[in-house]
Structure 1
Amino acid sequence: MAGGVVLVSSSIVRPVNSSQSGRTKIHLTPFDFSLLHFSSPQRGLLFPKPDHSFNLISQLKASLSLALDIYFPFAGRLVKTENLEDNTVSLFVDCDDSGARFLHAEAKSVSVSDILQPDGSVPCVLDDFFPRNGFKNCDGAAEPVLVVQVTEMKDGVFIGYSYNHLVGDGVSMWDFFHTWSKICSSGGSELKRKPLVLKGWFLEGIGYPIHIPVSLTERPPPPSRESSSVHSTKHWMLHFTKKNISDLKAKANSEVGSSDLVISSLQAVSAHMWRSIIRHSGMSQERETQFKLVVDLRQRISPSLEKDCFGNMIYLATAVTTVEELLDRGLGWAGLEIRKLVGSQTSENCKSFADDWVRNVKNLKLFSGSEVDGDTIVIASSPRFEVYNKDFGWGKPIAARSGPSSSFNGKLTLFPGINVGSIDVQATLPSDVLVNLLADVEFLEHVTTA
């Protein structure tokens, strides 16, 4: 590891009641497969430094073992099988209790103030606080589904993780993280919870396991020299206070002027980011711009699934318009487009997507994020995820961050702000766009970087 981060140890943590009997096999759905070429999500929380009496590493590992006993898919492995009859492959999750990887690292020269920059910039040293940089979901066969890295700093602790998105999503991961923290803070006494509910095969009429071309499980070729010579990107934290959000929502809804079409706080913030970034992108007026939003499908399919059922249940929905239309029609219009996008994710659309995916699997081209060329904004994660209640026994988190592998040009990762009702956005943008954005009075009227 670089940047002042030194790896102390690497080990495998297995569920406390590890057993090979009654193993569960989880087949993958078209929604899982659509994320094959995405980088594995990386998230992390920054904590104050615990007291010397707190045996940090041993207690975290012991409680992780107990948490994996409940969230057993995170202790499994992604398995690839060959289908010789049609020269395809299939993937499934083998819940074999092989365990999660636990990395213990030290960054003795790095302080909390180095991470929390007053101007909102995200320092490069933070890259090494996350495990498995550069790892993609399609790399997951025979690798641990979950990797955790605990980095001890001069005056803090950072717990970062990377997990295979084919196995779970943000709902599943933050639920697991919460359970892990509760077990750790209580000394293992808080294990009274209902058994894990798997999403199951929620779409009828699709045969499992799904056969896919071998090429879909392989890494896509790296971008050409021409396309990789774009402007360098930077990561920046943007903060929307409760008042910022309220003002944006009021402005968007006043422009719409309809009591039947109400734009939500999140839709107003997303619309503000989309319009502001594209305004400084240098794109021509007639060029198309895309807005992609991660939508949780659990309550959108029929019959609906439990809100906290385990598995990957997201879909990347897309809205398309021209730069001219986006900028000329105002915040309210952009908010309505996002509202329509969310509302269009119905059970019928989910079924149609899955059917089309299986029928056209041989001709699929999977989106990876690396192909984005400044015309696309992707909203990931959610400010509805509770991240600041994750107390492992020595104090609540100070900040939440996303890792470098799951970031690309135009990626906006949303977290709840540390103050109730606020939203933090970790933006990955070209340096020149970011410079102009941070000098834009209209943009800064509703956002702070401190």
Structure 2
Amino acid sequence: MANQVASQVANKAAAESTDRRRWNRGRNPLQAGTHGEITTTAWVIDRVTGKERRRRLKATADHKADSKRTAVAFWTAEAYVRTDQGRTRFQSRGKTKDEAIERLSQRMSPSTGDRLAEALATESGRVTAFTNDSTLGEVLNAWIADPVTTDARAVGTVLRYRHAIDKTIKGRQVGTASLGSVSLDRVTPRVVTLFLASLTPAVAKTCRGILRQALTYAVANGASAPTTNGTFAILSQRVERGTKSPTAPTVPITKAQAAQIIADLKADEKTSKTDLPDILTFMAGTGCRTGEAIALTWAQLDLDSEEPTALINATVNGAGRRQLQTKTRAGVRRLALPPAVVTMLQGRLAKARTDSNLVFPSARLPKSDRAETPYWISNITGVIRTELDRLGHVGVTGRSFRKMVATELDKVGFTPRQIADQLGHSRPSVTMDVYQNREARGPALVREIL
């Protein structure tokens, strides 16, 4: 019995010793990006020295404790934050205790717009948004609505993605259900392959990019099916465009044909009252894009110098708004204006209203107070195609004029880089492969060698 009691006493002593060691280990270390306890201190003005000092809560051998009625000059709040360089102390002051704490929290919190810092700060304990039972439609809706998705893309790109999601992906009927109602674990490589194969190459390329990014978003938010069933491998494969383009190719025209088209537009009773002849005159003389032409303002033009120029630095996006950036970085360029274009612009300037800003504004009444707005890019391109078809120039579009400029410059010996700069292309290969209407010819010296 005595041995049993002694054993219990020994076990109890060992347990107490273990508990003491456990509590003597101190606090757990702070994780990177987190902070410890916030402490606050009241500061008062010393009556003897007139300097700021901490309020004394307890009396010491040399000083008395401060009364609770002593006026507080200000409060400070401080905390330690774990950073890459170690532990750093942050301190802020305020007139009140709450103000000091709020300012300290603002200093320690991630800056506005830093989504990576916000994600790191809120990742701990976060509930995942998706599971393998989540539907493809739910993932697509959340991905396209996320600010990270929309802020990094042009307005026209977001609109095109939304249209493809609603009409092509979610709206695709599979038996009695739709593809948007399918759970993520059923979006297998075979399903993706069959879906993309049923689309035209251009639409398949867009949908492939959307699915790849949306499923990556789903995996980042809790789902695992796309990584385990091999769907990413299928979406990483390039979509071949095939030997024939699903859409009609750009109809090439010559310089003489461009002049005849513009003359026909001016002679027509309907189109002569519109901006179409002048817009196409500007495009034929510069090779700029349709969106760049309708976004042109008088401030971009220099018509009074010996060599008149136009600064192309804006375009109209898919939402019908003028944006101060072109399609690509290479699109910002200054172009020399031919005499015919200068004459046309001077004529428009003489007739323009004093408060006019756009060179080609959408129609408004002469005495209307409505602010100027540019043409919608989709509307003006459709009108150009429709009216030219009606006048007998079937298949000719605004891009035909850009292609004509590239071809004419190539005929007189301009380099591919110079032509690409004129058209606003970052790569000369695009200019040569798509926009130049040239006949492939072998070297002339071949006849002497062979």
**Structure 1 length-normalised TM:** 0.19
Q: Which structure is larger by alpha-carbon Rg, 1 or 2? A: 2
Higher helix share: 2
Higher strand share: 1
- Greater RCO (CA < 8 Å, at least 6 residues apart): 1
